[in-house]
A and B are shown apart, each in its own frame.
Chain A
Amino acid sequence: MAVAEHPDSAGESAAAAWWRHFRYVVSENPVTLFAFILFAMFVVMAVFGPWIVPYDPLASDTANALQPPTWAHWFGTDNLGRDVFSRVVVATRLDFLIAFSAVALSFVIGSVLGCLSGYYGGWTDRVVGRSIDTIMAFPLFVLAMGIVAALGNTVENIVYATAIINLPFYTRVARAEVNVRRNAGFVDAAKLAGNSDTRLLVFHLYPNILPPMMVQISLNLGWAILNAAGLSFIGLGVRPPAPEWGIMVAEGATFIVSGEWWLALFPGAALMLAVFCFNLLGDGLRDLIDPQRRT
């Protein structure tokens, strides 16, 4: 790998080198390839979901209620005769939207807080550290419940709550990574060249902490989806009849004891597959962007 990549990579563009590295990582580990394909499938479902499904996810058809899976309805129909398959596919967008916005929010806030406290130390570090410790002192799902209850029972507040309980992980990674590089030679050189603190943080330190943060993101996305679905399962956030995996499992739960398994099984399986995909992707992404592996 070292021989293959180094001497002739000078001639090719950065994108081509990245693509080659991507192919290498994927061919080394077929599981990663599987995760990427799964992820692509979910993205297609999230983006084009409403146009590719065979039925309207909200249209009820009481004559066909509670039908087990057939060729016409792959995942069966629910108690109002709505097509479970269409609802599962359309739900992808809402679930991913919640998880992605929550993780993006905690990534941005967490890296700013972490960079500041790692770079300046002292009081900044102490205040940020104490606040993070306070968040971590709660069982995180319970805190998320409390936050959603306090802010109001809406989808945005699910996003905020999920972002807050994920914040500690990003802040800690960013703080640790900035802290070890604070006195590195290249930082001193940049400082002597007359860069301001802000410029130094944004252009010199921040790019260096991105790889570990990216890995944290993909590992976190699965957890964020689980949390958001858990919150809507207990009746917070998403309101029926909106299709969302957590609430669909909750609605299907009442039919499990009478044997109508398809209502809860398929949205639950989709949720499980999404989380599984992000966990595998996290491991794959670590191989892809870990600088140590690249040389």
Chain B
Amino acid sequence: MSRFAMIGRRLAQAIPSIIGIIVVTFLLTRALPGDPAVYFAGPAADEKSIAEIRAALGLDKSLFEQFWLYLGDLARGDLGVSISTGRPVLEELATRLPASLELTLVALIFAIGTALPLGILAATRPNSWVDHLCRVVVTAGVSLPVFFTGLFFVYTFYFLLDVVPSPLGRLDIFYIAPDHMTGFYLIDSLIVGDLDTFGASFAQIVLPAITMGVFVLAPLARMTRASMLQALGSDYIRTAQASGLSRSKVLFSYAFRNALLPILTTLGMVFSFMLGANVLVEKVFAWPGIGSYAVNALVVSDFAAVQGFVLSMAILFVLVNLAIDVLYTIVDPRVGIEG
């Protein structure tokens, strides 16, 4: 089977997941407590106006009809209107998404940049201090509640050492947000060449990103170490070494390239963790992303907002998994030869 056919089949496999996600999010919101019609109508409303609003929202129809309407809304990109802010949910999510993505990506870069060297060093020097360090990081990393590490960092680096600005949002109030291009402050400020703003937003993102990075470091480092050990112990490495190839060539071209595949698979799980951790980290650092939006919506039972959040996170997760699998077929040269 050709590589394109493989990718096509993988794309088709994502469809049932997406259908499942839509059904589940629909069912979840229908079970939300409170009557949205009463909420919309306000405290002064009588029976008649509540019934009118209920009809306007489509809440008087059968569950099946409501689901049909919901599908139609989704197809038009209409996620409903947030009860608490009165703005369309899609618009709010779209304005807040770059903040969350920026945080997640910086955290991911930090985690990969730390976990891969750590895992490789630990695998090449078993029982050395690097190996022990790796073991400690792996064991401690999975036990640390992400909101707790965040607070601990705030206390140490903000209160005691005073090396970072106050942990409130993406930018100190003395700075003006850079013009909206990508929505990533780090990139936008560089594009316009405003190094001051770049520095300020970098100072703000360091702590939350490291907090989140530490959380996902453990599975990545463990997988890197394990798969590097396995790769280094295999026959083709012995052959490569016997052929007199240089150490770095053996390590990176042969061992690491093969070890990369299981690491890529772990990335899917890592993303599931990160999207969840996002919510907690954003709350700790008052980060204006979609996670803190969802937390605020949850508190006031804002059903459209919660539904939109869960739906968009799930779709994002499906897309990430899809991208990882496609990347996998590209990285692995054996795919497309065997079939």
Residue from A138, A271, A279 within 8 A of B24 (CB atoms): A138
Asked if residues A229 and B276 are in contact (CB atoms below 8 Å), the reply is: no
Determine the interface band of chain B, counting residues with CB < 8 A from chain A: 35 or more
B93 to chain A, nearest CB (A): 13
Q: A150-B32, A268-B151 are in contact. Are A138 and B299 (CB under 8 A)?
A: no
Q: Does B143 contact A (CB under 8 A)?
A: yes
Q: Is the interface of B mostly helix, strand, loop or mixed?
A: helix
- Complex Cα distance, B177 from A266, in Å, reads 37
| Surface stretch bound by A, among B152-160, B221-229, B242-250 | B152-160
Instruction: Tell me if B276 and A141 are in contact (CB < 8 A).
Output: yes
Decide if A59 is an interface residue (CB 8 Å cutoff): no
Chain A residues 120-161 with CB under 8 Å of chain B are 130, 133-134, 137-143, 145-153
Check: B192 CB closer than 8 A to any chain A CB.
no
Across-interface contacts of B23 in A (CB, < 8 A): 134
Contact count band on A: 35 or more
Interface residues of A in 212-262 (CB under 8 A from B): 222, 226, 229-230, 233-236, 246, 249-250, 252-253, 256-259, 261
Q: How far is the CA of A149 from the CA of B17 in the complex (A)?
A: 22
A145 lies within 8 A of B279 (CB): yes
Minimum CB distance partner of A225 in chain B = B145
Residues of B within 8 A of A249 (CB): 145, 147-148, 151
Among residues of B, the one whose C-beta sits closest to the C-beta of A268 is B148
Q: What is the chain A residue whose CB lies nearest that of B139?
A: A279
Q: Shortest distance in angstroms between B66's beta carbon and chain A's nearest beta carbon?
A: 15
Q: How far is the CA of A279 from the CA of B317 in the complex (A)?
A: 27
Q: For A259, list chain B residues within 8 Å (CB).
A: 155, 159
Q: Is A26 an interface residue (CB 8 A)?
A: no
Q: A residues within 8 Å of B by Cβ?
A: 130, 133-134, 137-143, 145-153, 222, 226, 229-230, 233-236, 246, 249-250, 252-253, 256-259, 261, 264-265, 268-269, 271-272, 275-276, 279-280
User: Could you write out 17 A-B pairs with CB less than 8 Å apart?
Assistant: A137-B318, A139-B273, A139-B314, A141-B273, A142-B310, A148-B298, A149-B298, A222-B142, A230-B280, A235-B299, A236-B298, A253-B147, A257-B159, A257-B167, A271-B148, A279-B142, A279-B143
